[in-house]
């Protein structure tokens, strides 16, 4: 309650700032109006004012989270939280010491400072303003106004431009170097001093990355205008939580949507004429290189027969409580840092080592790209923005405009490596890693990335060699590759670095196409149909197998009690993951036990029919016995957890808010549930979401502007004392959408606070 009172006092004090101050030559000026659910509407006449207002509003909601991020990228987590604690890097955890070593070694501040000079004036001013706005909030809050979770902590401090540069670098490396941070931080020459590392290359989908996105063109919508459904799947905890904002700035910029910690404008959202969303792409944003080690020295490698010295870098990490600092020496090559992932066979020995080159390292173009997207008037301008800058780091762009055009652009910062180069530069062991990474021969200069004219950085693949499609019906993506964003029009094959072609789709992608086609067969899409699609909670896996399981149940001669109970629960299940669905908890445990069973399907995958294959559960003989045994095991597992096989899903998957438990709908993407929610059991408590549906938006257009319904599943603030800690979570739980106020009149009507003016 103290935090809420201080927040209210601060709002009232700032509301009294005289309007005349705006004319007093202040460098940073912005106004903030909060509407329902605490959504801030930031207005500024300059780009530095935009950054200033956004940072201030974000710190009001999530100061502790952002302050911890600045400690992370500065490489001081061991000092503040202990070396054995955990940091969230990208979408996974790594120990604090490895995190600190990674950032101290990989963040090249001189290069980032120099690269920042090439940004547009808008991007530079946004960054400058963000620093000022964050620091202004710390000043206004004072020691007593800091949330309890981080009050008095030394890592809550004023920031500089360097902190923003580090944080931006972390954001663009989320799906590449950060996934291997532990392997980079612990790579050492062969010998007794080699750290023990337990790490494997991430498998496709192994990072938990996800999302669904739909762009409907005028031929598929009820009003003939474009419509976008954005359904990104992001973590419920940590720095990758989305935060809603509406920004009105200079040069006609007026966009609403969400960003991550540290982003000064919406990275996903809409303006008056276009709406866009993102999904994590299947493209690979780095390549690995196999190094031939010089027999005379394990820190030298051979290129075209000549010995080349690795570049050593000594990194020192301060420790807490007077403990001596830890110093490591890491090594880099012409291709990038040396790394290890022993569980995948990536080691450093006397004959061989591995390095990685990351297309997003030093990518300072992302903010400029999102500025241009936010100013776009049609999807052609969005396509031009992502193509010209190659600044989108690791996501597809799915967009539609008021004219009724739809876009899917799988255009990102990727290595310029053709199919021929991958083939000619393979090594004898490249095939062993093909499903995990692209491995090239580091002993030949000919295996460097190709340099194409006109790209913003050497070695990037030009947009003309990537996939971008504009249509009038619809385009969609659920994290499979570029090759199929509309089942009627497969994309021709491109470089394998962009993803697999004509290969089996995930069940979530198949569910996307199945449900979308079924919806359009009943009529053209509007907001109501889009809402039903997004929150349908159907499981394609269940539709494919539950009928056959029922047949098996009738054939079982002497089923065990567990199997009998499992059969009964499965028969009564509605095959959905709604909060009142009974049997969903059982299927969540059962399906992973059988999903990868050999010979599971009678009809194999057919690239000519990718949406409907594989199918037809094989239940004959031993296969049927294994399926029933797995069902019995699933029931026994639930019994151990104290969960009935026919328990209502909302009694099993819940979000704890103090003593409250909010039932959460949605289910595992692996089971073909579009509204994905991956959950883990809280010790002594329920299954709680950790990753899945986050910010959901449905955006169309009328004559006046955008018509947007949205909800942020985990709410705006991470501060338990905030009134906006769980208010949207309660709305999400009952599928209650919020019509977002965009026009000035709507904002005034829905305001929950007076317009506050901040300046300095």
pLDDT tens-digit profile of 518-557? 999 999 999 999 999 999 999 999 999 999 999 999 998 8
**Residue 699 pLDDT exceeds 60:** yes
Q: Helix 561-572 and helix 584-594: axis angle, to 10°?
A: 110
Q: Helix 47-73 and helix 96-106: axis angle, to 10°?
A: 130
Yes or no: say if 411 and 463 are a contact pair by the CB < 8 Å rule: yes
Q: What is the DSSP letter of 606?
A: -
Which phi-psi region, left, alpha or beta, contains residue 25 (left: φ > 0; alpha: ψ -120 to 50)?
left
Residues 6+ apart with CB under 8 A from 535: 665, 675, 735
Write down how long the chain is.
760
**Overall average pLDDT of the 60-88 stretch:** 97
**Residue 505 pLDDT exceeds 80:** yes
C-beta neighbour count of 309 within 10 angstroms? 12
Q: What is the pLDDT of residue 5?
A: 39
Q: What is the pLDDT of residue 743?
A: 98
Question: Strand pairing of 406-410 and 395-401?
Answer: antiparallel
Distance CA 677, CA 691 (A): 6
Q: Which of 194-198, 320-324, 438-442, 657-661 has the lowest mean pLDDT?
A: 194-198
Tens of pLDDT, residues 271-328: 999 999 999 999 999 999 999 999 999 999 999 999 999 999 999 999 999 899 999 9
Burial class (CB in 10 A: 0-12, 13-18, 19+), 166: buried
Q: What is the pLDDT of residue 684?
A: 81
Distance CA 279, CA 476 (A): 10
Yes or no: say if 147 and 70 are a contact pair by the CB < 8 Å rule: no
- 710 beta partners: 697, 738
Q: What is the pLDDT of residue 92?
A: 78
pTM reported for the whole predicted model: 0.95
Q: What is the pLDDT of residue 7?
A: 43
Yes or no: say if 588 and 668 are a contact pair by the CB < 8 Å rule: yes
Tens of pLDDT, residues 558-578: 899 999 999 999 999 999 999
Distance CA 690, CA 640 (A): 22
Q: How many helical (H) and strand (E) elements, i.e. helices and strands, does the chain have?
A: 20, 32
Token output for 502: 């004509």
Q: What is the pLDDT of residue 18?
A: 35
Q: What is the pLDDT of residue 169?
A: 97
In this chain, the answer to whether the domains covering 286-358+418-447 and 540-673 adopt an identical fold is no
Q: What does the mean pLDDT of the chain come to?
A: 94
**Overall average pLDDT of the 605-619 stretch:** 98
**Residue 622 pLDDT exceeds 90:** yes
- State the first-to-last Cα distance of the chain, in angstroms, to the nearest integer: 30
Asked if residue 608 has a cis previous peptide bond (ω within 30° of 0), the answer is no
The verdict on whether 211 is a catalytic residue reads: yes
Q: What is the pLDDT of residue 683?
A: 86
The domain 540-673 is placed in CATH, from the list 1.10.1400.10, 3.40.50.300, 3.30.365.10, 1.20.1250.20, at 1.10.1400.10
Q: Supply angle C-alpha 184, 691, 706, rounded to 5.
A: 115
**Residue 516 pLDDT exceeds 70:** yes
Residue 210: pLDDT band (50, 70, 90) is confident
**Overall average pLDDT of the 109-114 stretch:** 96
Q: Domain locations in the chain? A: 2-185, 286-358+418-447, 540-673
Q: What is the pLDDT of residue 19?
A: 34
Percent of the chain with pLDDT over 70: 96
CATH classification of 2-185 is 1.25.40.10, yes or no?
no
**Residue 490 pLDDT exceeds 90:** yes
**Residue 646 pLDDT exceeds 70:** yes
Q: What is the pLDDT of residue 200?
A: 81
**Overall average pLDDT of the 485-505 stretch:** 97
- Give me the CATH topology for the region 286-358+418-447: Penicillin G acylase, beta-roll domain (2.30.120)
Question: Strand pairing of 92-95 and 467-471?
Answer: unpaired
Burial class (CB in 10 A: 0-12, 13-18, 19+), 54: buried
Yes or no: say if 244 and 227 are a contact pair by the CB < 8 Å rule: no
- Which one is catalytic: 78, 127, 177, 211? 211
Residue 722: pLDDT band (50, 70, 90) is very high
Distance CA 1, CA 8 (A): 11
C-beta neighbour count of 252 within 10 angstroms? 11
Which whole-number Å values give the CA distances from 199 to 96, 182, 343, 345, 547, in the listed order? 15, 7, 6, 10, 40
**Overall average pLDDT of the 661-684 stretch:** 95
φ, ψ of residue 310 in degrees (nearest 5): -70, 155
**Residue 269 pLDDT exceeds 50:** yes
Q: What is the DSSP letter of 16?
A: T
Yes or no: say if 517 and 214 are a contact pair by the CB < 8 Å rule: no
Tens of pLDDT, residues 401-440: 999 999 999 999 999 999 999 999 999 999 999 988 999 9
């Amino acid at each position: 309650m103290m935090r809420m009172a201080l927040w209210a006092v601060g709002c009232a004090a700032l509301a009294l700032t005289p309007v005349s101050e705006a004319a007093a030559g202040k460098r940073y000026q912005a106004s903030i109006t909060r509407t329902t659910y605490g959504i801030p509407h930031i207005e500024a006449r300059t780009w530095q004012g935009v950054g200033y207002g956004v940072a201030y509003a974000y710190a009001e909601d999530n100061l502790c989270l952002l302050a911890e991020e600045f400690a992370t990228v500065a490489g001081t987590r061991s000092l503040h939280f202990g070396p054995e604690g955990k940091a969230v890097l990208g979408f996974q955890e790594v120990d604090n010491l490895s995190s600190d070593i990674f950032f101290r070694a990989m963040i090249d501040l001189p290069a980032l400072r120099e690269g920042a000079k090439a940004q547009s004036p808008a991007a530079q001013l946004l960054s400058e303003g963000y620093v000022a706005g964050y620091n202004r909030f710390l000043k206004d809050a004072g020691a007593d106004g800091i949330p309890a979770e981080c009050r008095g902590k030394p890592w809550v401090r004023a920031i500089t431009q360097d902190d923003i540069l580090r944080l931006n670098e972390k954001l663009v490396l989320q799906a590449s170097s950060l996934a291997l941070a532990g392997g980079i931080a612990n790579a050492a020459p062969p010998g007794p001093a080699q750290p023990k590392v337990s790490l494997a290359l991430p498998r496709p989908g192994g990072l938990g990355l996800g999302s669904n996105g739909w762009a409907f063109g005028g031929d598929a919508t009820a009003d003939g205008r474009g419509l976008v459904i954005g359904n990104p799947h992001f973590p419920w905890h940590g720095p990758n939580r989305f935060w809603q904002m509406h920004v009105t700035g200079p040069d006609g910029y007026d966009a609403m949507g969400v960003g991550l910690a540290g982003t000064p404008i919406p990275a996903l959202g809409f303006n008056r004429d276009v709406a866009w969303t993102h999904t994590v792409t299947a493209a690979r944003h780095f390549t690995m290189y196999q190094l031939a080690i010089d027999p005379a020295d394990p820190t030298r490698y051979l290129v075209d027969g000549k010995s080349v010295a690795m570049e050593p870098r000594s990194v020192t990490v301060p420790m807490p409580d007077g403990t001596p600092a830890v110093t490591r020496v890491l090594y880099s090559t012409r291709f990038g840092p040396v790394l290890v992932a022993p569980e995948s066979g990536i080691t450093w020995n006397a004959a061989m080592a591995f390095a990685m080159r990351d297309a997003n390292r030093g990518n300072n173009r992302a903010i400029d790209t999102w500025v241009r997207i936010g100013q776009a008037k049609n999807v052609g301008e969005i396509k031009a923005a992502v193509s010209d800058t190659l600044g989108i780091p690791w996501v597809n762009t799915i967009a539609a405009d008021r004219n009724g055009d739809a876009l899917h652009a799988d255009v990102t910062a990727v290595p310029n490596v053709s199919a021929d180069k991958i083939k000619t530069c393979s090594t004898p062991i490249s095939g062993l890693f093909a499903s995990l990474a692209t491995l090239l021969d580091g002993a030949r200069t000919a295996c460097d990335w190709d340099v194409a004219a006109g790209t913003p950085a050497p070695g990037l693949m030009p947009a003309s060699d990537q996939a971008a499609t504009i249509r009038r019906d619809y385009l969609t993506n659920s994290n499979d590759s570029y090759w199929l964003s509309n089942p009627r029009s497969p994309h021709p094959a491109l470089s394998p670095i962009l993803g697999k072609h004509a290969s089996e789709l995930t069940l979530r992608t198949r569910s996307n196409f199945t449900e979308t086609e079924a919806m359009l067969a009943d009529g053209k899409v509007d907001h109501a149909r889009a809402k039903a699609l997004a929150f349908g909670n159907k499981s394609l896996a269940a539709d494919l197998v539950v009928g056959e399981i029922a047949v098996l149940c009738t054939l079982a001669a002497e089923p065990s009690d567990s199997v009998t109970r499992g059969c009964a629960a499965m028969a009564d299940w509605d095959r959905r993951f709604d909060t009142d669905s009974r049997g969903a908890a059982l299927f969540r445990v059962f399906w992973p036990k059988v999903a990868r069973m050999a010979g599971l399907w009678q009809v194999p995958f057919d690239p000519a029919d990718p949406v409907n294959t594989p199918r037809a559960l094989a239940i004959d003989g031993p296969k049927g016995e294994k399926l029933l045994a797995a069902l019995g095991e699933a029931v026994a597992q639930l019994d151990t957890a104290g969960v009935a096989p026919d328990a209502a899903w909302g009694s099993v998957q819940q979000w704890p808010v103090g003593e409250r438990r909010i039932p959460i709908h949605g289910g595992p993407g692996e089971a073909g549930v579009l509204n994905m929610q991956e959950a883990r059991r809280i010790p002594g408590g329920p299954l709680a979401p950790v990753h899945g549906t986050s910010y959901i938006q449905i955006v169309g257009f009328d004559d006046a502007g955008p018509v947007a319904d949205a909800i942020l599943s985990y709410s705006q603030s991470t501060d338990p004392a905030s009134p906006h800690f769980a208010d949207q979570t309660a709305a999400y739980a009952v599928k209650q959408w919020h019509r977002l106020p965009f026009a000035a009149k709507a904002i005034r009507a829905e305001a929950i606070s007076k317009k506050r003016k901040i300046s300095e």
